[in-house]
Amino acid sequence: MDLTLQNPGDHLFIRSVSGAGIQVVDTVYPSALILSARELIPDWPVKSVEEIAEWHLEKILGLNPEIVLIGTGGRQAFLPPEMLMFFYDRQIGIEVMSTDAACRTFNVLVSESRNVAAALIPV
């Protein structure tokens, strides 16, 4: 699914999501990644939402986001309450959704200059 055909500015953006991976600008990443408007952390060591542990989430904090999007793959899944509390305790908004939806939401929030980070598991 192509998400954008144009370069929307001087920030990172997600161009498409497919079975091959997540295309950020001109590079396709076949494994999970963490992304903000200015920084990309490839090879986030998560293959499914069930694998996510608190130490996986700590990498996201280094981006200092106000909002975090978790893309759970092809289908929406939910994080356990203690994982949500990891962000709530730090006054960071958290949304968990399918990766397609998280990618679209990321692009919209970045285009609005929001301080967002996305942790994305490929579809």
Structure confidence by residue, pLDDT tens digits, 16-36:
999 899 999 999 999 999 999
Rounded to an integer, what distance in angstroms lies between the CA atom of residue 86 and that of residue 58?
9
Phi-psi bin for 43: left (phi > 0), alpha (psi -120 to 50), beta?
Answer: left
Record the tokens describing residue 66, joined without a space. Answer: 């106000």
- Could you read off the pLDDT of 36-82 as tens digits, one per residue? 999 999 989 999 999 999 999 999 999 999 999 999 999 999 999 99
Confidence of residue 4 (pLDDT cuts 50, 70, 90): very low
Question: What is the value of pTM for the model shown?
Answer: 0.90
Using alpha carbons only, what angle is made at residue 120 by residues 117 and 123, rounded to the nearest 5 degrees?
155
CB–CB of 78/95 below 8 Å?
no
